[in-house]
Chain A
Amino acid sequence: MVKEIERAGIPVVHMCTVVPISLTVGANRIVPTVAIPHPLGNPALTPAEEKSLRRSLVERALNALSTPVEGQQVFDK
């Protein structure tokens, strides 16, 4: 799916937990996430902590969309 969106000319960031799959299917901008059933959350945290975790991951995704890349890049920090 990421590839078709990229192909249409829109920069896209893939937020997912299983990074090797994302690399295999050909996403270019990749942000690793928390877990398969809750990529952008962690039920073990308090709601406030969880939202701040989510925010930091989304900010990383926006940073990826603002960063020029050549080929595939995993934004893990």
Chain B
Amino acid sequence: MNDKLRVVHYLNQFFGQIGGEDKAGITPIDKPGHVGPGMALAAALGDAAQIVGTVICGDTYFGENMDKATDEVVELISKYQPDLVIAGPAFNAGRYGTACGAVCAAVAERLKVPVVSGMYPENPGVDMFRSKVYIVETGDSAAGMRQAVPKMAALALKLVAGQAVSPAVDGYVSRGIRENYFAETTGAARAVEMLVKKLKGDAFTTEYPMPKFDRVEPNAPIADMSKATIALVTSGGIVPKGNPDHIESSSASKFGRYSLEGVDTLTADSHQTAHGGYDPVYANQNPNRVLPVDVMRDLEREGVIGKLHNTFYATVGNGTSVANAKKYAAAIANELVEAKVQGVVLTST
């Protein structure tokens, strides 16, 4: 007997060293001790804890049988009488993240022990389980393992010890829990205090943080517009008539690149919008209202700009995830850099 903290680790078939997608259908199994990334986790937890068992389940099996798989996994976990359960990290693997979240939520509810997982913020498992589970923010791939594991271990140990934790200090995704406390001044006084600080340009801390978006520094301006190649990009869904790439009207799964070779203007016969998030009548009547090809061609002829890039790019910005929009734009940007485009006009509806 020893009095070390008993930890159970949940992994998918890949990290559990069973196999790849061909093994994603396996039903839950357990192995004593640590497996795969469990070794690093054990090291990060230190001498006070011991990974007594690892439970492994195939991602597809879990995804297709969520309720049953949750029951089976929790059953295997409970065998080890854990004091703490850690799942993943799952990075940006959607099915794995969902499984980690479901396992953790069920363990917390049924076994009443602390649970911690780790995921990339865009992992769908985050939005599904963030309110119930401490999910440490990780990178989007296993390359982030070395950063993720110590954070998960540190948070887990604090939770077991009953110490206070917060998203800012411990690096987990906000669970959206508001804690009641007695402030010394009323909300009105605090708000005015904040406003005064803001007006003075002093630092202040909001009591209701908005979602974070990262920032990119502006690039230097174009020195000589009359020699510059300018490209048109739109999230307003302008595509050739018939929408040849079948870009979806919402939650677009792709972007399109379309030639403007010999195109002097867009018409109701040549182009349309594929966007399902705004009234398409005006854009369909005259697609230049969203993608100003007619005016750009005039400016090109007059020598105001050097050249209109002969390819335009379009997607539908309607319910499209930030991650996807980012991915499409990064791919578009890559092609624009290759084509030596010097400036971009991006239109949105």
A and B associate in one complex: yes
Residues of A within 8 A of B (CB): 1-18, 22, 24-26, 28-29, 33, 36-41, 43, 50-51, 54-55, 57-59, 61-62, 65-71
Asked if residues B336 and A37 are in contact (CB atoms below 8 Å), the reply is no
- Judge if B39 is at the interface, Cβ distance under 8 Å: no
Contact partner of A13 among B214, B336, B345, CB < 8 A? B345
Asked if residues B349 and A39 are in contact (CB atoms below 8 Å), the reply is yes
Q: How many residue-residue contacts, CB under 8 A, span A and B?
A: 173
Residues of chain B contacted by A40 (CB below 8 angstroms): 288-292, 295, 347
Residues of chain B contacted by A36 (CB below 8 angstroms): 278, 349
Asked if residues B298 and A55 are in contact (CB atoms below 8 Å), the reply is yes
Q: How far is the CA of A36 from the CA of B235 in the complex (A)?
A: 12
Q: How far is the CA of A5 from the CA of B219 in the complex (A)?
A: 10
Contact partner of B328 among A1, A15, A62, CB < 8 A? A1
What are 7 residue pairs bridging A and B, where the CB atoms are less than 8 Å apart in the complex? A1-B346, A3-B216, A8-B334, A11-B221, A38-B289, A62-B299, A68-B221
Q: How far is the CA of A10 from the CA of B336 in the complex (A)?
A: 8
**Listed stretches B16-24, B50-58, B152-160, B279-287; interface member:** B279-287
Given contacts A5-B333, A62-B225, A67-B221, contact A10 B343 (CB under 8 A): yes
Asked if residues A28 and B216 are in contact (CB atoms below 8 Å), the reply is yes
Q: How far is the CA of A15 from the CA of B132 in the complex (A)?
A: 40
Residues of chain A contacted by B222 (CB below 8 angstroms): 11, 65-66
Q: How far is the CA of A62 from the CA of B226 in the complex (A)?
A: 11
Given contacts A1-B329, A54-B294, A58-B292, contact A11 B225 (CB under 8 A): no
18 further A-B pairs in the complex, CB-CB below 8 A; given A9-B219, A50-B286: A2-B329, A2-B346, A3-B214, A11-B342, A11-B343, A28-B218, A36-B349, A37-B278, A38-B283, A39-B347, A40-B288, A40-B291, A40-B295, A54-B289, A54-B295, A58-B299, A68-B221, A71-B218
